[in-house]
Every structure is written in C-alpha cells, then in structure tokens.
Structure 1
Amino acid sequence: MGSPVAGLRGGSRGEGRSAWMLYQYFGISSSLSRIFIRRVSKTFLTLAVHFCAMEPLAFLPMGLVVGLSGSLLPGPMLAYTATKSLSDGSGVGPRVVAGHLLTEAFYLSLFALGLRTVFEQPSVETLLKAIGGALLLLLGLLGFRALRKKLETASPHALSIHPAAAGVLLSSILNPTVPLWWVGIGFSNLLVAYELARVAGIVFWLVGHSLSDILWFCSVSFLCGRGRNLVGTGLHRLLIAICSTFLIGWGLFLLISL
C-alpha cells in the first residue's frame, strides 16, 4: 500500500496540474474571443460597405436623414409654410414643397453642367444675401400690416406670394443657405452615392431627400391648417405675428452678415 503522504502529494500535484490546465484553457479562450470579436467586427463593416455598394436602396434612408437634418432647422420656408397654412389651410404645404423641389432640381442640373463653382464665389453669395434679406423684410412687414385688419380679410394678404412661387423664392434668392447647403453637403453626398452604387445610388438618395421635405413641410402645413379651426382668433394673430417676426429677423441676419 502506498503512503498517505505520497497520496496527498500526488493529489496536490494533480490539483495544481488541473488548475494550470484550466488557466491555460481560459487564457486561450479569452484570446480566441478577442480574435473572434475583432474578425466579426471587421466582417460586419466589410459587409456594410458591400451592402451599400450592391444595394442602392440603402441610400434612401441616408438621403432621408441627411435631408431632415436641414429641413428640421428653423428657416424662412418653415415660417412661411406655417403662416400661410394658418390662413389658407393645409394645402399650402404640398405646393410649397413642389416649388422647393423644382428649384433643387434646377441646382442639380447646374452642378451636373459643372457650374457648382459659381455658387462658391463670394460675390454671388453676397448678392443672394442682399436680395434675400430685403425681400424677407418685406414679407414680414406685409404680415404685420395684415394684422391691422380683420383676420378674415387679412388672411389673403398676410403673405401674398403663391405657395409654389414661395417654394421657389425661399429656396433661392430669399434663402441663400439652400444653394450653399447643396454646395457644401448635398453634392458631396451624391458623390459618395455614385461611388458606391452609381446612378441607382444617386436616385435613391434623392428620393429619400425629397421625402424628408415632403413629410416635414406637409405635416407642419396640416397641423397649422387644422389649428386655425381649433385655436381662437387671438392665438391665430399671435402665431402670424411670431412668424412675421421670424421673417424680419432672418432678413436682418442676412443683411448684417454681408
């Protein structure tokens, strides 16, 4: 029979060997896990890039998000849409967007013809700001002038420009930030879409961008158009005054920034 002490020593060596094996096992497993995570992450990013390259539809939500980043910012077109919808109803929004998209299509044709550098000239930017600032002041003053009359008779004159024409003007000479946005942000996104998915990528990006304008401005117009029947005359006048003040403030900002 073996010695009990020898048995204990053998048991200790066995336990130590087992502990060492477990340590090595978990150490190797941890290393393998890190390698696995890195490879999975790399594979995921690669698949994402290939997905954008092979699936142009991925550029639709991209265009939507980029478009909303500009549409959601307060601007003269938003102020006009809200003010005009309070007096003329929810049909203002679609007509404003139609004029806006028509103007953006004109910008795209200019960029395609290589005239992008025209909008980058400081003299052109100064001219657009001067004309836009003066006309915005006029629109704001017309809004306040209308408030001196009864609301029913003042509504057609609060902002006398037709919504479709306003969509064009508020995307060009009345708001030079729109063509400048296309020069700095929009056109670069189109280049990325073309590099990864060619013409189809550009088409889906433009569809997403157009949807951002349609969803936002039509929603604002609908809510304001419904609001004129839900709110009192006093609040109606207050909203028109706020929007007119914003138009005047934006016009002054453009003139001061010359």
Structure 2
Amino acid sequence: MRHAGLKARMAVVGSVLFAFYAFLALVAFAMGAGPVLIGIGTVLFVGFQYVVGKKVALWSVGAEDMPEDRYRGVHESVERLSDEMDLEKPRLMVAEMGVPNAFAVGRRGAGVVVVSTELMEALGRDELEAVLAHELAHIDNRDVVTMVLGQSIASMLGLAVQFAILFTNDRGIGNFLLAYVAGIVVQMVAMVFVLAISRYREYVADADAARHVGGDAMAGALRKIAAAGERTDNDVSDNVSALCIFGGERSALEKVFATHPPIEKRIEAVQGVDREFY
C-alpha cells in the first residue's frame, strides 16, 4: 500500500478527533441541540474554515497568479511533475514572503501551490523542482485536507468548552478568563494529534520529491532554505507556517507543538535517495 504509514497515522488521528467530535456532539445534544442542527452546524463550520482558511492563507502572503511568460520554467516543471503524479496541474501563485518558502493548499483537482520569489532566487533548477515536487506530494497525499479538518475539530472543541463554561456559570470577569484559558488549552491538546500528522507528512512529501527529482536535490534545497531562514528575522505568517516547507527555528517548548520535524533529520532521510524514472 502506498504510504501505508501516513494513511495509518491519518486513520488513528482521525479516529481520535472523531471521538472528540462525538463527545462534543453528545454535549450539544444534552444541551438541547437536535441531531440535524448538530450535523448542519458541523458541515457549515468545517466548510467555512476550509474555504476561508484557503483564502486567508493566500491573502496573508499577498499571493498573485504566476504569469506563465515570466515563470515558464516553473510552469513546465509543475506540468511534468503533475503528469508523473497523475495530478491535474494546480494553480500556481507567486508571493514575496521575505524568506525562501513555498506551500500548497486545496485538494486534488483544486490545488494551489504558492512559491516565494525569494525561493526562486535562492535555489538552483533541480532544487526548485524538488520543492515543487514536495508541495505537489502534499496535494497528492491529501494531507492538506486532513490538516484543515483536524484544525476545524480542534477549533470546535475549544469554542464548545468556552461556551459551556460561560453558559453554566455566572458571567463575571473570572469566568470569562477561565473560559478563554480552558478553550485554548483544550484546543492545544487536540492540536497535538494534528501536529503529529503534520510532522510525519513532511517526511513523506520529502521522500516523494526525492523519488521524482533525486534526494541530493531535495537535501540541497532544505539546506539552503534553512540557512536563509537563519540569516533573516523575517518569518512567514502564522496563517501559513504549518503549510510551508520550512517551519523555522524553535525553542524546546515550541518543538512539542512544532508543525515540522528538525531540518537535519529531514536532510538525513532524503540524502542519497535515487531518482525513479516514470
């Protein structure tokens, strides 16, 4: 089975998140909400987060459509890689992010890949192709959609806890603070499971890119992106940091909630992987 490890992890995390959601639905039902209302509310909430989250991610970096006449090489590389992956070519956009980076949003058939101008300036052709293959792999593996759904459920849990505290106690300033803190804590706990998938999916996308372009190209791209990130104080928006190929440097506490595995481990995993011919 292709990417059995990723699929198994997605299934386990999905089951845990569904258990959280089932508990949330039972609480809502106990408070008087009907099953139809719960179902409709869930669909609308997740759908809203998916659509708006995608637009916010693009808006937050000022992404614009990538002109084919100015970036012909990028378009040609994506067309070739999309054919190899049996994907419909995604919409390509360009943005000035302040750092060399790229990210993908959307699903198969409706994907978008955003590439920073800094990335195209920093990398050689093979290295840039490796990053493009990495982002296409995220769309191909459907892990972007899993991240969005996981974040939606975590957000719903946090909001539910806040409402439960506010509506079952007096609404003094103390309870408002308690509701806010409790909601954040519950959302963070749920996000631990989502972030575990986020880190693993980066390894899988790196490996996919290495098979299409070569492990040395992928490793070289990661080295240059990490080095550029260390030389600048600029950072990507929180709206897209989890989606980008590089998540930045982190403190010990931040590593617990990191969206990306350590860059040195990613380089070690892909180094020397031979390109497969399709």
* TM-score bin (small chain): under 0.3
- Larger RCO, structures 1/2 (Cα 8 Å, 6+ apart): 1
Q: Which has the higher strand share?
A: 2
Report the TM-score, using the length of structure 2 for normalisation: 0.25
Report the TM-score, using the length of structure 1 for normalisation: 0.27
Say which one has the larger Rg: 1
